[in-house]
Amino acid sequence: MIVPGGTPFLAVVPARGGSTRVPGKNRRPLAGRPLVEWTIAHVARCATPMRLVVSTDSDEIAALAVRAGAEVPFLRPAELATDEAPTEPVLLHALAATPGASEAEHVVLLPPTSPIRRDGTIDAAVARYRELGADSLVSVTEVSPLQWSGPPDAPRALYDTGRRPRLQSVPPEARRYRENGSVVITSVAGLRATGNRICGRTVMYVMTREEGIDVDCEHDFWLADQWLRSNHAC
């Protein structure tokens, strides 16, 4: 649920106006609503009380976010809204520029480019973070362990090619995951001390494959749109 304050959790949705691969993606309609609104709606349906702030440099996105129920207490400075700007300064700026944010103990980073999150997913991630006493949590999606690295003309297998495993019988220690960017939780103290949103004791929260869709190109946008429409989520 979205609350105005009095909670240790500050949810930050970074939604800048520019985008190279998908122009205007954060305000672009996806399955019937602007992309940024999906993430705001996810927080509104959470059982965990969170203060929700959208960090944007766009007046249009700010207006969309406020109508959807989020706070936009500032506009992000231009130097933090470039393609090259890292995420950590954006989070630290949100903590500094949001009135009353000094009471926040944990930051929940929720990029709008992850528009598919099942009800209960954010709450489950928060519960895991709390129960394990973690300093940070990253959401991940399981991928095939049959992976390679290096240049195409001199690759290196990241598994034993002489004992190729069946995917359905891969033991836990051999499973592989990729960060999907959907949910990152970190302690404010850890973020400030290290300048890194992934710090200290880090744990994973495994999400379903469709929840791992990260809108970074037109194909991703189409895929998320199709999934949301076909699952009657819009």
Question: According to the model, what pLDDT value does residue 232 have?
Answer: 65
pLDDT by residue (tens digit) across 112-148? 999 999 999 999 999 999 999 999 999 999 999 899 9
Taking domain 9-141+179-230, whether its CATH number is 3.90.550.10 is answered by yes
Residues of the chain whose pLDDT is less than 70?
232-234
The 3 state secondary structure assigned to the chain is: CECCCCCCEEEEEECCCCCCCCCCHHHCEECCEEHHHHHHHHHHCCCCCEEEEEECCCHHHHHHHHHHCCECCCCCCHHHCCCCCCHHHHHHHHHHHCCCHHHCCEEEECCCCCCCCCCCHHHHHHHHHHHCCCCEEEEEEEECCCCEECCCCCCEECCCHHHCCCHHHCCHHHCEEEEEEEEEEEEHHHHHHHCCCCCCCEEEEEECCHHHCCCCCHHHHHHHHHHHHHCCCC
pLDDT by residue (tens digit) across 3-20? 998 899 999 999 999 888
Question: According to the model, what pLDDT value does residue 22 have?
Answer: 87
Question: According to the model, what pLDDT value does residue 170 have?
Answer: 83
pTM greater than 0.75 (yes/no): yes
Question: According to the model, what pLDDT value does residue 234 have?
Answer: 45
Residue 22 structure tokens = 């998908």
**CB within 8 A of 59, min separation 6: which ones?**
75
